[in-house]
Amino acid sequence: MSLSSSHWLMDPKGLLSLNFLLLLSLAFEQSYATGKSMINCPTVGGQLGSSVLLPLTSEGINKSTNKSIHITVTMAKSAGSNRNNKLVSLDLPKEGSLRHLEDGYKFHLENLSLVILESKKKDEGWYYMTLEEQVSVQHFCLQLKLYDEDTENQRSGLHLLPHICVYGSLH
């Protein structure tokens, strides 16, 4: 490559334009993203068929109920999904202002947790909670993975197969 053909690499205006385009594309991607997919979601395990408690808060979420707060809990089958199912919708501090609660779930206001009653395989997925205050919105998420009793026993090394051992010969 000759010096004249690589001259654009040393041109600060060319680099500035390229950097500006890169910055714009990153800004567009950030504004286009749902926000949910950018959060690191911890994984919670639960046993199929039993009740599973999902702690939908973190230390970073302010749980003060002296302000007007709207809480929404949704569930998606995959991380970053554009289509979520609404499970819970309620307003605080008004008690008894539960707008929406899907069957098979119980919401605990005192610790902002969701209980799945008699969990099923279809309950596996990503759970998102949104707390909306007057001018701020906070998000929290977690991923639920369910297992059956045999799978957990195998994973923990407790699964024992019956063995029949014959020593010596039978006469």
pLDDT tens track, the chain, 171 positions: 555 555 555 555 555 554 544 444 444 344 334 444 446 889 999 999 999 999 887 654 555 545 678 889 999 998 888 889 999 998 876 655 667 788 899 988 778 889 999 999 999 999 999 988 888 898 889 999 999 877 655 555 544 443 333 333 344
Give the DSSP letter of residue 167: -
Per-residue model confidence (pLDDT) at position 3:
52
Per-residue model confidence (pLDDT) at position 111:
80
Report how many domains make up the chain: 2
Per-residue model confidence (pLDDT) at position 113:
87
Same structural domain for residues 78 and 130? yes
Same structural domain for residues 20 and 82? no
Same structural domain for residues 51 and 116? yes
Same structural domain for residues 47 and 123? yes
Domain range for 62 is: 41-156
* Euclidean distance between CA atoms 3 and 20, whole angstroms: 25
Same structural domain for residues 77 and 135? yes
* Euclidean distance between CA atoms 48 and 149, whole angstroms: 8
Per-residue model confidence (pLDDT) at position 69:
82
In a domain, 47, yes or no: yes
Same structural domain for residues 72 and 151? yes
In a domain, 75, yes or no: yes
In a domain, 6, yes or no: no
Same structural domain for residues 52 and 68? yes
Q: pTM to 2 decimals?
A: 0.62
In a domain, 171, yes or no: no
Residues with Cβ within 8 Å of residue 36, at least 6 apart in sequence: 76, 79, 80, 126, 128, 139, 141
- Which of 34, 114, 39, 40 is CA-nearest to residue 73? 114
Q: What ranges in the chain are assigned the alpha helix state H? A: 7-10, 12-32, 149-156
Residue entry with tokens 């279809």: 122
In a domain, 49, yes or no: yes
Q: Which residues of 99-132 are buried (b: 16+ CB within 10 A; e: fewer)?
A: eebeeebebeeeebbbebeebeeebbbbbbbbbe
Bridge partners (DSSP) listed for residue 105: 116
